[in-house]
Amino acid sequence: MPSVLFELKDNVGVITLNRPEKMNAFTRNMSVEMQDILRRRITDKQIRAVYLTGNGRGFCAGQDLSDLQGMDAPPFDKLLAEFYDPVVTGIRNLALPVVCGVNGVAAGAGANLALCADIVVAAANASFIQAFTKIGLIPDSGGTYLLPRLVGLQKATALMMLGEKLSAVEAERWGLIYKVFPDEGFTDAAFSLARQLAQMPTRALAYTKQALQASLDNNLPQQLQLEARLQRAAGETNDYREGLSAFLEKRSPNFTGE
């Protein structure tokens, strides 16, 4: 059984972490499978949004700690470069909207993997734990970049130094995630966001993602220039023409992603 499942559903590429008995703790093998999905399978033209979630009662418990033991475990900088960073950048650079449905606990690199998505929603029973310092490591997988930008430096520092569990409800209140949905019916509610995005103007969403990510480092003049360049590109898409015609003709648009 693969440790990461992939299927196409309603124009959404669904990625499911699949080691439920170990809370989907991340192994090197899992990373290889995930990288293959991001590089080769997501490229299917039918896919216009991605939904990332976990199988079972956890989303992802971070690095599988038993996978780190033994003589063959490379030093951490090499492990990160080979098995974590390509997944983080793969998700961030996808020219598609990525929704993460955090179905249960997200710990360590698992918490930061969730934050890489464009829209993060969680089940009411889910939680987020920056578990790294508890075992003498530092937060990785882009967490020290993303978390302070989401919740501010003070809250990020406390979460990362103390390693305390943050409930999904608090995570929503803090701005770490977009929304909490009830446990019952969670998958349907979370997936419906991805399905909705998959019917929208795909290239405009990709440019929006690109502009928002760049805004984290750009100054205003740089950002205005980027917006102009991306808006020009958006204005040249068929979906823009369709959106405009549909508005003027008082009908629903039929976006194709072109």
**Which spans of this chain sit near ligand T3D (rule: CB under 6 A)?**
22-23, 25, 61-66, 76, 79-80, 105, 107-109, 129, 131-132, 135, 137, 140
Least separation in angstroms between residue 93's CB and ligand T3D is 21
Residues in the chain: 258
Task: Give the integer Cα–Cα distance in Å for 1 and 54.
Answer: 15
Least separation in angstroms between residue 249's CB and ligand T3D is 52
Angle, helices 238-248 vs 202-215, to 10°: value is 110
Least separation in angstroms between residue 56's CB and ligand T3D is 9
Nearer to ligand T3D, 13 or 108 (CB): 108
How far out from the chain centre does Cα 85 lie? 13
Question: CA nearest 186: which of 83, 82, 54?
Answer: 54
Nearer to ligand T3D, 87 or 198 (CB): 87
Task: Give the integer Cα–Cα distance in Å for 73 and 78.
Answer: 10
Least separation in angstroms between residue 107's CB and ligand T3D is 4
Nearer to ligand T3D, 66 or 93 (CB): 66
Nearer to ligand T3D, 31 or 202 (CB): 31
Least separation in angstroms between residue 163's CB and ligand T3D is 9
For the CA atoms of 33, 29, 137, 159, the dihedral, rounded to the nearest 10 degrees, stands at 40
Angle at 178 between CA 173 and CA 181, to 5 degrees: 90
Nearer to ligand T3D, 76 or 145 (CB): 76
The torsion angles phi and psi of 63, rounded to 5 degrees, stand at -50, 135
